[in-house]
C-alpha cells in the first residue's frame, strides 16, 4: 500500500500586512434621520455611530477588495504573484456564482491562486483567518490573502428604525504567511443556529423575484436579543480565546472586537476586566457596522494612527448572523 507524502508546510503563521478601503462618501446621522423618526443623540447613545461610509456605483465589492488587498500585499512586502489563495468573506456580493474571490485574484495579478468566498457574517474575518492559518501550516499556500468586504448599504432598509443607522460599506484585507514563532493563536469558534432568527435577511431572494414581496430584501435583527447574546456569551468566548493562547487580560495590548455597537464593546471590556492600558478599537464611531470588514478595517486604522504598533498582542473577536462567532489572539503586523 502506497503512503501519501506529508505536506511541506510551515509550523506557524502570522499576519504580515493589513490594508483597508473606505468608500469616499461619508454619511452623517442627519442623512439617516431623513427616513426614520429618531435623533442624532439617540443614534449616538444607542450605537456610538456618528458617520458611516456608503459606496458609489464604481465602489463595488470587487473594486473595494482590490484596493484594500493592494495595500495589504505591499505592507506584507510580497508580490501578488506570491499569493497562493484568496479567501473572501462577504454577504453582499449579489452574484451567486462565480465567487467574487476569483475576480479579485485575477485583478490583483495572482498566479492562478485558489479563490473562494465564505459566508459567515460578522465572524467571517475570523473564519477566513483560521482557514488561512491552516493552509500555511498544511503547505497548500505559502501566502494567503484574507478579505472581509461589504456593501451593506445595498441591504439596508432605510425605513427600519432598528437598523437603518447601523450599517456601512468597506473592505479590509490581511496577508497571512509563514512565521518563526506562534503569532495566530487557537481559534475559538462555533454557531448557535437555534438563534438564527435574531439576525437575518427579511425574505429570500425568490420571494422578491416571484413578486411575493415588493420591497427588496434587507438585513433585520432583534436588537435586544442580539445585544444580550453579544455581551454575555461573546465575553465568555473572548476569555476562552485568551486562555487557549495562554494570554491573560493583563498581558494584552489591543482589543479589536467586531464593530457592531459601542455599547457592546464597552460591556465586553468591562466583563473581561481589561486594564486601561489595553487599546480598544472604536472604529464603529466613524465607519459603522461593516460586518466581515469591521475587524481588519479597525486593525488597519489602529496601526495607521499609532494607537497600536507592530508586534502588539491583540484579541480579535467577530460575531453575528447565524449566530456564528470566532475569536483568536494575534500578533499585529
Mean pLDDT (10-residue bins), the chain, 333 residues: 80 97 98 96 96 98 98 98 98 96 98 97 97 96 98 97 96 97 98 94 92 93 91 95 97 98 96 96 98 98 98 98 96 98
Tell me the three cell numbers of residue 249.
487580560
What is the model's pTM?
Answer: 0.96
Pairing of strands 254-257, 279-280: parallel
Three cell numbers at 105?
A: 485574484
Place of cell 445595498: 154
The pLDDT score that the predictor gives to residue 71 is: 98
Closest CA to 28 of 46, 7, 50, 48: 50
Task: Count the neighbouring beta carbons within 10 Å of the beta carbon of residue 112.
Answer: 9
The whole-angstrom separation of Cα 102 and Cα 117 is 9
- Cα 164 from Cα 160, distance rounded (Å): 5
Give me 289's grid cell: 457596522
CA distance 148 to 232: 25
The CA-atom distances, in angstroms, between 158 and each of 34, 151, 163, 269 are 9, 14, 8, 31
2 DSSP 8-state letter = -
Confirm whether 261 is a catalytic residue: no
Q: How far is Cα 323 from Cα 192, in angstroms, rounded to an integer?
A: 5
**Cα–Cα dist 326/242, whole Å:** 12
Are β-strands 12-21 and 143-151 bridged in parallel, bridged antiparallel, or unpaired?
Answer: unpaired
Give the per-residue pLDDT at 198.
93
How far is Cα 264 from Cα 84, in angstroms, rounded to an integer? 36
Instruction: Output helix, strand, coil percentages for the chain, rounded to the nearest 5.
Output: 40, 25, 35
The answer to whether the beta carbons of residues 106 and 80 sit under 8 Å apart is: no
Q: Residue 6: what pLDDT?
A: 73
**Considering Cα of 143, then 169, then 154, then 201, what sign does the dihedral take?**
positive
C-alpha 63/C-alpha 22 separation (Å) is 11
Q: Has 56 been annotated as catalytic?
A: no
User: Are 217 and 202 spatial neighbours (Cβ–Cβ below 8 Å)?
Assistant: yes
- Is 93 in the active site? no
Closest to 166 measured CA to CA, from 62, 304, 276, 263: 263
Torsion angle defined by CA atoms of residues 184, 188, 194 and 198, in that order, rounded to the nearest 10 degrees: -50
Q: Of the residues 29, 93, 122, 261, which is catalytic?
A: 122
> Reduced to 3 states, what is the DSSP secondary structure of residue 329?
strand
Cα–Cα distance between 333 and 330 in angstroms, integer? 9
Amino acid at each position: 500500500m502506497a503512503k501519501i507524502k506529508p505536506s511541506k508546510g510551515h509550523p506557524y503563521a502570522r499576519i504580515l500586512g493589513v490594508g483597508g478601503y473606505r468608500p469616499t462618501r461619508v454619511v452623517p446621522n442627519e442623512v439617516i434621520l431623513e427616513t426614520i423618526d429618531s435623533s442624532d443623540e439617540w443614534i449616538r447613545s444607542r450605537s456610538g455611530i456618528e458617520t458611516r461610509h456608503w459606496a458609489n456605483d464604481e465602489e463595488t465589492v470587487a473594486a473595494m477588495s482590490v484596493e484594500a488587498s493592494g495595500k495589504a500585499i505591499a505592507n506584507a512586502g510580497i508580490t501578488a504573484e506570491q499569493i497562493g489563495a484568496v479567501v473572501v468573506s462577504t454577504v453582499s456580493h449579489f452574484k451567486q456564482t462565480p465567487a467574487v474571490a476569483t475576480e479579485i485574484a485575477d485583478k490583483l495579478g495572482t498566479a492562478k491562486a485558489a479563490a473562494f468566498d465564505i459566508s459567515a457574517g460578522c465572524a467571517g474575518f475570523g473564519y477566513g483567518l483560521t482557514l488561512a492559518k491552516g493552509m500555511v501550516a498544511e503547505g497548500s499556500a505559502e501566502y494567503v490573502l484574507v478579505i472581509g468586504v461589504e456593501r451593506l448599504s445595498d441591504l439596508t432598509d432605510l425605513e427600519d428604525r432598528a437598523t437603518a443607522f447601523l450599517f456601512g460599506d468597506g473592505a479590509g484585507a490581511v496577508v497571512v504567511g509563514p512565521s518563526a514563532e506562534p503569532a495566530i493563536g487557537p481559534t475559538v469558534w462555533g454557531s448557535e443556529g437555534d438563534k438564527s432568527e435574531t439576525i437575518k435577511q427579511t425574505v429570500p431572494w425568490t420571494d422578491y423575484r416571484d413578486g411575493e414581496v415588493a420591497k427588496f430584501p434587507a438585513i433585520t435583527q432583534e436588537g435586544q436579543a442580539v445585544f444580550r447574546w453579544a455581551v454575555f456569551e461573546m465575553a465568555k468566548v473572548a476569555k476562552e480565546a485568551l486562555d487557549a493562547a495562554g494570554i491573560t487580560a493583563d498581558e494584552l495590548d489591543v482589543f479589536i472586537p467586531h464593530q457592531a455597537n459601542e455599547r457592546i464593546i464597552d460591556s465586553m471590556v468591562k466583563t473581561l476586566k481589561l486594564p486601561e492600558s489595553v487599546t480598544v478599537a472604536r472604529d464603529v464611531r466613524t465607519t459603522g457596522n461593516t460586518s466581515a470588514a469591521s475587524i481588519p478595517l479597525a486593525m488597519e486604522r489602529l496601526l495607521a494612527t499609532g494607537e497600536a504598533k507592530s508586534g502588539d498582542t491583540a484579541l480579535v473577536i467577530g460575531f453575528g448572523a447565524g449566530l456564528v462567532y470566532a475569536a483568536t489572539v494575534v500578533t499585529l503586523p
